[in-house]
Amino acid sequence: MAIFPPKERIWWNTPVEKTEVMWVTIALIWALVMFFMMPYWHLTGDQNLSNEAYKISADAYAEKTEKMAALYKVREEGDTGIPVVAPPAGSDVYMLGRLWEWWPVLELEAGKTYRLHLSSLDWQHGFSLLPENINIQVHPDYEMVVTVTPKNPGEYGIVCNEFCGAGHHTMVGKIYVK
């Protein structure tokens, strides 16, 4: 038993069982395979976002987002009155996180490329675009920029996956792709 000290004081000279040697060898080989696969996946995988980050004040980012929302607003969403914004393809698109919403709702075109800017006005939030595999931490005073090209039309949900307070479970947003 491992709870008690070994009977032999020089325990490292005790022969190791063949099954234990086999399992240690398998674990070592698997660790080496995974070690060398990580750079390969990083260089060849589609899961890697090429993003940028810039220092910005919350007020300056809110002003840029509100200006874009006013310029490209096409309608309002539901009872809340959140604007739905349809910017032209190839443009910079702004979305901000604040307690407890993603603002505004975006309407993008399938197959067109956009530069999506994300920032928070208050706390750290998580930007998880479902069902796509985009997951970014969004910090206050930093503007995260991701180039996105939505492929499939539909409604995409945005979920905050970093606990941000009592209303965290209600912090959702939308992106429509036409």
pLDDT in tens, 65-89: 999 999 999 999 878 789 999 999 9
17 and 65 both lie in a single domain: no
Mean pLDDT along residues 163-176 = 90
Count how many domains the chain has: 2
Provide the residue count of the chain.
Answer: 178
pLDDT in tens, 121-140: 999 999 998 888 788 999 99
71 and 18 both lie in a single domain: no
pLDDT at 2: 66
In a domain? residue 5? no
Mean pLDDT along residues 94-103 = 92
74 and 152 both lie in a single domain: yes
Structural domain that includes position 40: 11-44
24 and 62 both lie in a single domain: no
Q: What is the pTM of this model?
A: 0.73
Cis peptide before 83 (omega within 30 of 0): no
CB count in 10 Å sphere of residue 61 = 22
Mean pLDDT along residues 137-159 = 92
